[in-house]
């Protein structure tokens, strides 16, 4: 459970989940000029973005793949949706169009009615004139925008689920501390794994855990002293000691500190507030982080439990999706496929657990590694659709 640093150009077009199979949306640079012969060979149409003239310039609507050059003539940044004016569902969008700049919306259109909605910063949305296309095939799929209001019940339900998980985690870290006091190494290792996986299942909440996440599940990344750094604490500190021959007595202090940190987190959780707009993104990031950290072995401090962690992360992903499902069933036609792919990944990972023990990552053969990477990678791509569709959007 750890944050991913994400990069990207401001104002890039958000593909509505990749689910819009008939559409291809890309963000463009500021050199697009309506009316010029385009090097891409596609027809271009200049569209004005402003509170008073939103959507002006679309004089000859036609079907097929085309480019809209969205030029912001106002003095404030804006985002733009191309929507169905009847029900507000969105075909494509571009964010962060700065004053005086132009960005491109590349999209395939079919038969139907369309209108541009301009959403300037700090003012009301404006919908431009309706354009109708009578020829060509049917209009491509569109997704009803999800608002922050829509996401609040899902976030509250997930937050309650996390609270119950933290209650259980308090008990598990307490048993780990007690096992270390008893000195039974095999029991300690089992208690450590049980507690660590319980924490990893809470993956979408890390943003709300604040500094507690570092104390509980931090690694040596950025610590000058590495495994000997005083700031190296929590699960991985204990893991390193257990699987590098440290005495159980020497690990009692770190285990007590871990149990105390978990209890403090649990006690503070009722006052925490998750950002509803982040929930869809977290569903994607859990498995994105799994690929980056677990399936590369970067977080293995000796236990060889990365595949077990990946399996716990899969449970964490399902927990988020369960709270978002009512929003996705009408917006994401590929949801049944995603759910089947989750089942496939679960079966694959469960196959690495034999006689109660997980296969260490470095004992997988090449075929197993490639298949695991491919299955989880495919899920990450599909969950990017969930992140996009559940990105909170303005409607007014």
Residue 23 has pLDDT above 80, yes or no: no
Torsion of the alpha carbons at 374, 378, 384 and 389, rounded to the nearest 10: -170
3-state SS class at 265: helix
Q: Are residues 49 and 160 in the same domain?
A: no
- 327-356: pLDDT as tens digits: 999 999 999 999 999 999 999 999 999 998
The DSSP bridge pattern shows strands 44-49 and 64-72 to be parallel
Asked whether residue 200 is assigned to any structural domain, the reply reads: yes
- Of the chain, the percentage scoring pLDDT greater than 70 comes to 91
Total tally of structural domains belonging to the chain: 2
Q: Are residues 64 and 157 in the same domain?
A: no
CA distance 4 to 281: 11
Short-list 197, 89, 88, 77, CA closest to 140:
89
Q: Give the pLDDT of residue 1.
A: 55
Count of Cβ atoms closer than 10 Å to residue 249 Cβ: 10
Q: Could you tell me which residues come within 8 angstroms of residue 256 by beta carbon, excluding any fewer than 6 positions away?
A: 177
The pLDDT mean for the chain works out to 90
Asked whether residue 357 is assigned to any structural domain, the reply reads: yes
Q: Are residues 223 and 305 in the same domain?
A: yes
8 Å CB contact between 305 and 363: no
Q: Is 136 left (phi over 0), alpha (psi -120 to 50) or beta?
A: left
Q: Give the pLDDT of residue 362.
A: 96
Helix axes 335-350, 306-328, angle to 10 degrees: 160
Q: Could you tell me the pTM of the whole model?
A: 0.86
Q: Are residues 204 and 90 in the same domain?
A: no
Q: Are residues 176 and 87 in the same domain?
A: no
Short-list 10, 314, 252, 272, CA closest to 162:
272
Q: Is 356 left (phi over 0), alpha (psi -120 to 50) or beta?
A: left
Q: Are residues 124 and 172 in the same domain?
A: no
- Lowest-pLDDT range of 24-38, 107-121, 141-155: 24-38
Asked whether residue 15 is assigned to any structural domain, the reply reads: no
- Distance from the Cα of residue 221 to its chain's centroid: 22
Q: Which of 133, 166, 198 is the last residue of a domain?
A: 133
Q: Are residues 125 and 159 in the same domain?
A: no
CA distance 371 to 310: 14
Asked whether residue 198 is assigned to any structural domain, the reply reads: yes
- 286-310: pLDDT as tens digits: 999 999 999 999 999 999 999 999 9
Q: Are residues 305 and 241 in the same domain?
A: yes
Asked whether residue 180 is assigned to any structural domain, the reply reads: yes
DSSP 74: S
Q: Give the pLDDT of residue 2.
A: 54
Asked whether residue 2 is assigned to any structural domain, the reply reads: no
Q: Are residues 128 and 156 in the same domain?
A: no
- Distance from the Cα of residue 125 to its chain's centroid: 27
DSSP string, 264-304: HHHHHGGG----GGGHHHHHHHHHHHIIIIITTTTT-SSS-
- 58-81: pLDDT as tens digits: 999 999 999 999 999 999 999 999
- 312-326: pLDDT as tens digits: 999 999 999 999 999
CATH at 56: 2.60.40
- What is the domain range of residue 305? 148-389
Return the residue matching tokens 């677990």. 294
Asked whether residue 7 is assigned to any structural domain, the reply reads: no
Q: Give the pLDDT of residue 38.
A: 75
Residue 357 has pLDDT above 60, yes or no: yes
Asked whether residue 158 is assigned to any structural domain, the reply reads: yes
Over residues 151-160, the mean pLDDT reads 96
């Amino acid at each position: 459970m750890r944050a991913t640093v994400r990069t990207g150009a401001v104002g890039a077009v958000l593909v509505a989940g990749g689910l819009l199979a008939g559409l291809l949306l890309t963000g463009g640079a500021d050199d697009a000029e309506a009316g010029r012969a385009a090097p891409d060979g596609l027809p271009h149409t200049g569209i004005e973005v402003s509170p008073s003239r939103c959507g002006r310039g679309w004089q000859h609507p036609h079907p097929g793949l085309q480019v809209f050059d969205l030029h912001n003539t106002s003095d404030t940044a804006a985002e733009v949706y191309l929507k169905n004016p009847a029900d507000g569902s969105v075909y494509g969008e571009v964010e962060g169009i700065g004053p005086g700049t132009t960005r491109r919306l590349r999209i395939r259109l079919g038969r139907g009615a369309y209108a541009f909605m301009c959403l300037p910063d700090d003012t009301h949305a404006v919908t431009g004139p309706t354009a109708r296309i009578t020829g060509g095939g049917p209009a491509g799929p569109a997704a009803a925008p999800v608002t922050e209001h829509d996401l609040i019940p899902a976030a509250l339900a997930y937050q309650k689920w996390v609270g119950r998980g933290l209650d259980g985690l308090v008990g598990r870290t307490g048993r780990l501390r007690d096992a270390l006091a008893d000195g039974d190494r095999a029991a300690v290792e089992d208690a450590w794994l049980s507690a660590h996986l319980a924490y990893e299942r809470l993956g979408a909440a890390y943003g709300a855990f604040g500094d507690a996440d570092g104390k509980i599940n931090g690694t040596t990344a950025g610590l000058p002293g590495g495994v000997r750094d005083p700031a190296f604490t929590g699960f991985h500190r204990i893991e390193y000691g257990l699987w590098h021959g440290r005495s159980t007595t020497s690990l009692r202090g770190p285990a007590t500190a871990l149990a105390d940190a978990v209890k403090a987190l649990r006690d503070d959780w009722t006052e925490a507030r998750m950002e509803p707009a982040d929930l869809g993104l977290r569903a994607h990031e859990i498995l994105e982080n799994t690929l980056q950290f677990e399936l590369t072995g970067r977080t293995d401090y000796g236990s060889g439990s990365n595949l077990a962690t990946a399996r716990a992360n899969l449970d964490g992903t399902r927990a988020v999706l369960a709270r978002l499902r009512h929003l996705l069933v009408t917006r994401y036609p590929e949801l049944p496929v995603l759910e089947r792919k989750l089942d496939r990944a679960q079966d694959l990972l469960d196959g690495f657990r034999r006689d109660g023990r997980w296969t260490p990552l470095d004992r997988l053969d090449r075929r197993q590694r490639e298949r695991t990477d491919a299955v989880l990678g495919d899920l990450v791509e599909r969950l990017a659709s969930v992140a996009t569709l559940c990105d909170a959007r303005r409607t007014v």
